[in-house]
Structures are given as structure tokens and as C-alpha cells.
């Protein structure tokens, strides 16, 4: 098998179209929200740019062609995400968080469910939102914990032809929508059975807007992604039709895991995008600034070597993430392992590389007039969201390594 990282003509076009949109639309979106006080005010101010993103067809480009969209695979999403996220992480995360909210439907939904629930997201108009309601107050690293552990605490009970959902969720992208009444679709991880074993008692149920009972508690004032909404909220007797059970009853944990596999590889690309933005600024700075000396500072080995080290880490993270995306697209047996590795490596390198590049620029990098503060604040989320690297992702790799059948050459394709 040939190893080739050359983009197809279609992928190159997608890259250039995404880059142009980021430059023309997303680059000017931040001033609209950066000085606003509350998380909700900032989120609402991003709506025109998000609507422009939907109108330009980027949300459709994230939905697979068999489901009515235009996406040909995870590598295409990675190419697009890098261009958009490197310019405005907040608005891009709103779109990709919506895609995460739809993944349980795309992976486990019936044709009828896909046709009905995905319809608003296939249009090139409006500002549709979806959320994957997994995380709960008090943490969800042990969602699969059997009693006496609590595991998933949100419950859904069947009454006639409806599920009645009660519980609380937290850190779910855009979950309470533009008006606190809920996103267009929420895929809710909840306990549906009296059976105590999590692998047979946790399910995913789709909640469609409008429905009463979404109880807004607060919008989290996050360190980074300042234009993105992550609320804490509750379900108070929220009703969903019985037909909105996604996949098999009791299959929620497996479906959640499948949904987070692809997103793990994309988080690696998020790290690449932030590192890339920091590197481009730092390189230009080093080529033009003398800082009182005779020569541009790139002439100094300490600066040149630091830039070289950063560039190597960026390229390594990008190609590991592409490899993981390709494995997911081709249903390679090593897909889970590669996706988790890409997530951990790309996210942790982002924090390290941006910090190292700040040292090149010096004290001016601490000025918010320069991009480093925002980039670092956004990067800090990457190791701890979408399955924290310590609480979840390394545990998943550890579990793989303990299996008797584990083959250390599988991920390299040399098994």
C-alpha cells in the first residue's frame, strides 16, 4: 500500500474555500463579542457569523453524503476544521459541537430518525444547533461505573409512548440554544433501565425542540472559547417520543464511545490549528523584529531552533491526526487507538508549543493585542474536554495495552 499525504483536487479546493471564509468572515467576528460581559451575550453576538457559516454550506460539509450532506469523510472535516479553527476557535466549535450532537443519530439512528432529525441541519439557512448531553455536574469520567458508583445519573422512564427525562447536564456545547429553551436536537445520555449494569442500562434519547422542561442554571464563564456557550442545565420532566430512542435500549455507552472516537482525532487537529496560528505570528515576528539589536532575531540560534522544534511538533501532530482520521474513515481496527493518540498528542503539544513560542516573542506576547493570550486560553481546554486526557483517554489506551490480544504493530499497519 502506498503512503501518500497529497490532498485530492477536491480536498485542496475545500482547504482554500475554508481558508478564504475564515479570512473574510471569521477573522472579523471576534470584535463583536470580545468586550461583552456575559457568556450568553458573547455567544449571541456570534450568531451572524455562525449563520454565514451555515449559509456557506460548512455544516452540510460535516454531514455524510448518505445522510443527505456533502461530507466524504473525517479527513475532509479535519482539513476544513484546521482552516476555520485557526482563525476563530469559538464559532468553529459551535459548529463542530453541533456535529458531535448529531453523531449518535448518524451512527446509530434509523433511516426514519436520520431523515426527520437531521432535516434542519441540511439546510443552508438559519442557525440550527445540536448538543451531545453526556457530561454531568460532578464529572462523568466514571460514566460506566457500576453501583455503588453513581455512573450516569440522568434518568429516563417510559410512560405510555413517551420517555420522561430528569437530571442535570454540564459542559454541553450550545445545549440551551440561542434563547435558553434548548438546541434544535439534544442527544441525551441517560439511564433507562432498572438493571444496575451500566452496559445494559444506559441509552441515548433525542430531544427535539420545542419541549418544555429545559431548566437553564448558568452559562459557564470559561477560560477560553469566549464566544462559545457551554451551559449547566437540567431536564425537568422533559418528554421525548418513544421513537426517539437512538440505537438499542441499553446501548448508550457503546454509542457514546463510537461518537467520541472521530471527535478525538479532530481535537488533535484543533491543537494543530492553534499551534499553526501561533507559529505563523512568531515566524513573522522573528523575521522582522530586531529588539534593539542589529539583526532580526531569527538570526539567533536560540530563536531559530525554537521555531524549528515547534514546526516539527506541528507537522507530527497534523499527520498523526490525519492518519487517525483515515483509520476512522476506512474502519481500520487501529482507529480507536490512533484517534486517542492524536487527541492526547495534539492537545498537549498545543499548550507546550504556544507557550514555547511566547518565549520567542517575549513580554509582548503577554499583551492581548497579540494573539497568544487567546490561543493559549483556547488550547488549555483541549487536554481536558472531549474526554480528559488523564481521566478518560489515557485510561482507554491503558485498557487496550492490557488486552492479551493487543498487537503493538497494529497502529503502524505492520501487524
| 78-112 pLDDT, tens digit each | 999 999 999 999 999 999 999 999 999 999 999 99
66 confidence band (pLDDT: 50, 70, 90): very high
Give pLDDT tens digits for 272-300: 999 999 999 999 999 999 999 999 999 99
Which residue in the block uniquely carries the three cell numbers 497579540?
370
**CATH superfamily of the 130-250 domain:** Butyryl-CoA Dehydrogenase, subunit A, domain 2 (2.40.110.10)
pLDDT at 367: 97
2 confidence band (pLDDT: 50, 70, 90): low
pTM of the predicted structure, to 2 decimals: 0.96
Query: What nine digits make up the cell of 45?
Result: 453576538
C-alpha span between 276 and 270 (Å, rounded):
10
**3-state SS string for 188-207:** EEEECCCCCCHHHHEEEEEE
* Residue that wins the pLDDT comparison between 224 and 141: 224
Which residue in the block uniquely carries the three cell numbers 472531549?
386
Ranges in the chain annotated CATH 2.40.110.10: 130-250
Exposed e or buried b per residue across 250-259, where buried means at least 16 C-beta atoms within 10 angstroms of its C-beta: bbbbbbbebb
Is the pLDDT at 33 greater than 50? The verdict is yes
Is the pLDDT at 369 greater than 50? The verdict is yes
Q: Summarize the confidence of residues 165-185 as an average pLDDT.
A: 98
pLDDT at 5: 85
Helix axes 89-108, 252-288, angle to 10 degrees: 150
The rounded Cα 334 to chain-centroid distance in angstroms is 21
Do residues 380 and 271 make contact, with C-beta atoms less than 8 angstroms apart? no
C-alpha span between 340 and 264 (Å, rounded):
6
The candidate with the shortest Cα–Cα distance to 256, out of 178, 140, 173, 368, is 140
pLDDT at 198: 74
Give the phi and the psi of residue 131 in degrees, each rounded to 5: -140, 145
C-alpha span between 221 and 229 (Å, rounded):
9
**Residue 181: which H helix or E strand, with range?**
none
CA distances from 271 to 98, 265, 346 (A): 19, 10, 5
Domain 253-402, CATH? 1.20.140.10
| Ordered alpha helix ranges (H), 119-251 | 198-201
C-alpha span between 199 and 158 (Å, rounded):
19
Give pLDDT tens digits for 212-241: 999 999 999 999 999 999 999 999 999 999
Q: CB-based contacts of 89: which residues, under 8 Å, 6+ apart?
A: 224, 225, 228, 270, 273, 274, 378
Q: What is the maximum alpha-carbon separation in the chain?
A: 80
Ranges in the chain annotated CATH 1.10.540.10: 9-122
Percent of the chain with pLDDT over 70: 99
Query: What nine digits make up the cell of 16?
Result: 482554500
Is the pLDDT at 256 greater than 90? The verdict is yes
C-alpha span between 152 and 202 (Å, rounded):
7
Instruction: State yes or no: is 386 an active-site residue.
Output: yes
pLDDT at 147: 77
Q: Summarize the confidence of residues 46-56 as an average pLDDT.
A: 98
**CATH superfamily of the 9-122 domain:** Acyl-CoA dehydrogenase/oxidase, N-terminal domain (1.10.540.10)
Give pLDDT tens digits for 302-333: 999 999 999 999 999 999 999 999 999 999 99
pLDDT at 150: 83
Query: What nine digits make up the cell of 321?
Result: 491526526
pLDDT at 1: 45
Give the side-chain half-sphere CA count within 13 A for 34.
Answer: 12
Q: Summarize the confidence of residues 249-259 as an average pLDDT.
A: 94
Q: Summarize the confidence of residues 386-409 as an average pLDDT.
A: 95
What DSSP assignment string belongs to 238-258? EEEEGGGEESSTT-HHHHHHH
Do residues 87 and 79 make contact, with C-beta atoms less than 8 angstroms apart? no
The rounded Cα 309 to chain-centroid distance in angstroms is 26
C-alpha span between 163 and 196 (Å, rounded):
19
Other Cβ atoms less than 10 A from the Cβ of 295: the count is: 8
The rounded Cα 287 to chain-centroid distance in angstroms is 34
The burial of 361, by beta-carbon neighbours within 10 Å (0-12 exposed, 13-18 middle, 19 or more buried), is given as buried
From the list 184, 356, 378, 386, the catalytic residue is 386
Amino acid at each position: 500500500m502506498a503512503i501518500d499525504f497529497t490532498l485530492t483536487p477536491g480536498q485542496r479546493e475545500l482547504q482554500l474555500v475554508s481558508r478564504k471564509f475564515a479570512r473574510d468572515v471569521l477573522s472579523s467576528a471576534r470584535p463583536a463579542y470580545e468586550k461583552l460581559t456575559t457568556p450568553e451575550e458573547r455567544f449571541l453576538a456570534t450568531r451572524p457569523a455562525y449563520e454565514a457559516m451555515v449559509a456557506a454550506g460548512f455544516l452540510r460539509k460535516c454531514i455524510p453524503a448518505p445522510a443527505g450532506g456533502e461530507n466524504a469523510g473525517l479527513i475532509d472535516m479535519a482539513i476544513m476544521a484546521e482552516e476555520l479553527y485557526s482563525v476563530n476557535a469559538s464559532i468553529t466549535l459551535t459548529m463542530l459541537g453541533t456535529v458531535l450532537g448529531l453523531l449518535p443519530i448518524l451512527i446509530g439512528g434509523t433511516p426514519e430518525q436520520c431523515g426527520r432529525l437531521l432535516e434542519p441541519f441540511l439546510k443552508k439557512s438559519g442557525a440550527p444547533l445540536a448538543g451531545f448531553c453526556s457530561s454531568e455536574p460532578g464529572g462523568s469520567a466514571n460514566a460506566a461505573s457500576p453501583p455503588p458508583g453513581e455512573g450516569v445519573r440522568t434518568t429516563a422512564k417510559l410512560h405510555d409512548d413517551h420517555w420522561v427525562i430528569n437530571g442535570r447536564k454540564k459542559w454541553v456545547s450550545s445545549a440551551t440554544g440561542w434563547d435558553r429553551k434548548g438546541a434544535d436536537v439534544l442527544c441525551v445520555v441517560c439511564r433507562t433501565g432498572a438493571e444496575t449494569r451500566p452496559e445494559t442500562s444506559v441509552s441515548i434519547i433525542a430531544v427535539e425542540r420545542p419541549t418544555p422542561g429545559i431548566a437553564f442554571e448558568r452559562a459557564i464563564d470559561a477560560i477560553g472559547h469566549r464566544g462559545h456557550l457551554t451551559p449547566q442545565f437540567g431536564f425537568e420532566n422533559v418528554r421525548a417520543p418513544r421513537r426517539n430512542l437512538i440505537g438499542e435500549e441499553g446501548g448508550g455507552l457503546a454509542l457514546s464511545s463510537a461518537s467520541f472516537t472521530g471527535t478525538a482525532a479532530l481535537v488533535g487537529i484543533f491543537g494543530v490549528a492553534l499551534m499553526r496560528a501561533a507559529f505563523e505570528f512568531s515566524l513573522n515576528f522573528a523575521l522582522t523584529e530586531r529588539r534593539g539589536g542589529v539583526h532580526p532575531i531569527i538570526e539567533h540560534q536560540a530563536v531559530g531552533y525554537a521555531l524549528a522544534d515547534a514546526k516539527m511538533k506541528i507537522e507530527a501532530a497534523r499527520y498523526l491526526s490525519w492518519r487517525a482520521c483515515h483509520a476512522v474513515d476506512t474502519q481500520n481496527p487501529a482507529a480507536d487507538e490512533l484517534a486517542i493518540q492524536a487527541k492526547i498528542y495534539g492537545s498537549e503539544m498545543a499548550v507546550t508549543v504556544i507557550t514555547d513560542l511566547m518565549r520567542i516573542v517575549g513580554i509582548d506576547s503577554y499583551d492581548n493585542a497579540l494573539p497568544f493570550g487567546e490561543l493559549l486560553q483556547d488550547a488549555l481546554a483541549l487536554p481536558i474536554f472531549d474526554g480528559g486526557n488523564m481521566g478518560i483517554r489515557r485510561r482507554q489506551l491503558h485498557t487496550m495495552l492490557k488486552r492479551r490480544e493487543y498487537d503493538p504493530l497494529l497502529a503502524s499497519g505492520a501487524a
